[in-house]
Amino acid sequence: MSWVVERPVRGGKTRFTAAYRDPYGRIRSAGTFPTHREAMRAADRLDDAVSANSWIDPVAGRIAFQDYAENAWLPARQIEVTTRAGYNSYLRTHFVPFFGPMPLARIRPTTVQAWVTQASDKGLSPRSIAKYHVMLHSIFARAMLDRVIAFNPCENTELPKVVAKKYRILTPEEFETVIASIPPRFKALVLTDIETGLRWGELVALRPRHVDFLRRTITVSETIVEVSKKDSPTGERMIVKPYPKDDEPRTLHVSQDLLDTLAARIADLGLDRGHLLFPSREVAGGIPLSRANFNTRFWRPAITAAGIDFPLRMHDLRHAHASWLLAGGADLKSVMERMGHSQIMTTQKYLHTLPDADKKALAAFESIRRRGSG
């Protein structure tokens, strides 16, 4: 419904205010005009937009990006506390410094493109820019649903090209030099990781109750995520989650050698079933081990001492585990389940990643070919 309100002004003239009702039934003004006809057209135009479900609140678009992202978009997300902590960090670090006070309705595709350029100039990797752009797109998509803006300025953004990395996988021989350089108190941790391929959070969340010595298995049913206190919704730095990534616990068979190593550790430290297997300090009931502290104080010095000539993260033991399984003849489906992957495409990237895989493939090809010419 639309109409025009006549308003007398000085000099005996009349001004005409266009009026209509928004989707919530509130009376809105479409502006004031010198003629009744112009006012009626403006009122009809916005009334048609309401009827067509394309009406945008002109006032709502004035809200600042930071205000909307932190007080509207983020609270509406149904996500884990750890994911929320990550979003808080991304907003604080990457988005608020650039978009913070800007009204949402004033942010254009060129504005987003300028953010991409600045992020790239500051050294942010193409992969990270693409990841953060997904989050930014989500914020504006929600603003469209809330009728705050008419379009998503993240559409058709030109992003830097992401070049797929070729993993340099640790060989079994190289691993032996690494384990020889690891401080004794962490050898059990590293041996467990290479044999199970656990993610860091899953590894440091292991407890004696997760080890079944009779069935020779380890069950992954918890994970610990380390976040900054300033970004944590709970104020905690170490957040324990009841399930690992993808919300599916899994059970892995392990060797008797590893079980003997873990049994000795449990006995030496006097661990109860609920204690952490790999706490930050070698005491029963210790707090979770910090990844950053472990990397800086123990992992990197050990890698240097081992003479490893390429960047090797603790997480790369997980990649090595998957690659060794596949190189040894394990089928993709079994490796996928052992790794806790939700899609087999993720597991496939570990095929043929050992340094000598190409030579072995060529040798296999030549062997078959000789059979045909013999």
* pTM score: 0.73
Shared-domain flag, residues 139 and 260: no
Residues 51 and 65 in one domain: no
CATH number at residue 129: 1.10.150.130
Asked whether residue 117 falls in the same domain as residue 216, the answer is no
Domain that holds residue 199: 172-348
Give the range with max mean pLDDT: 47-56, 180-189, 234-243, 356-365: 180-189
Q: Of the candidates 15, 34, 55, which is a domain's last residue?
A: 55
CA distance 277 to 325: 25
pLDDT mean over 276-289? 90
- For 211: left if phi > 0, alpha if psi spans -120 to 50, otherwise beta; the answer is beta
What's 276's domain CATH number? 1.10.443.10
Within 8 A by CB and 6+ apart from 291, the residues are 200, 204, 226, 314
How many structural domains are present in the chain?
Answer: 3
* Bridge partners (DSSP) listed for residue 14: 8
**What integer is the mean pLDDT of 116-126?**
95
Q: How far is CA 349 from CA 278, 354, 356, in A?
A: 30, 12, 16
If asked whether residues 200 and 293 sit together in one domain, one would say yes
Q: Using CA atoms, how far apart are residues 267 and 162, in angstroms rounded to an integer?
A: 48
How do residues 199-252 score in pLDDT, each as one tens digit? 999 999 999 999 999 999 999 999 998 887 777 766 777 888 877 666 678 999
pLDDT for residue 369 is more than 60: no
Shared domain for 127 and 208, answered yes or no, is: no
| 167 found inside a domain | no
For residue 218, the cross-strand partners are 211, 252
| Tens-place pLDDT, residues 144-198 | 988 899 899 999 999 999 887 777 889 999 999 999 999 999 999 999 999 999 9
Report for 42-51, 55-64, 105-114, 242-251: range of highest mean pLDDT: 105-114
Indicate whether 138 belongs to any domain: yes
Q: Residue 358 — pLDDT band, cuts 50, 70, 90?
A: low
Distance CA 238, CA 371 (A): 59
Q: Is the pLDDT of residue 142 over 70?
A: yes
CATH number at residue 51: 3.30.730
Assess if residue 162 is contained within a domain: no
Closest C-alpha to 288, from 343, 333, 223, 372:
223
Spell out where the chain has E strands.
2-8, 14-21, 27-33, 211-212, 217-220, 223-226, 238-241, 250-253
Q: Is 362 within the bounds of a domain? A: no
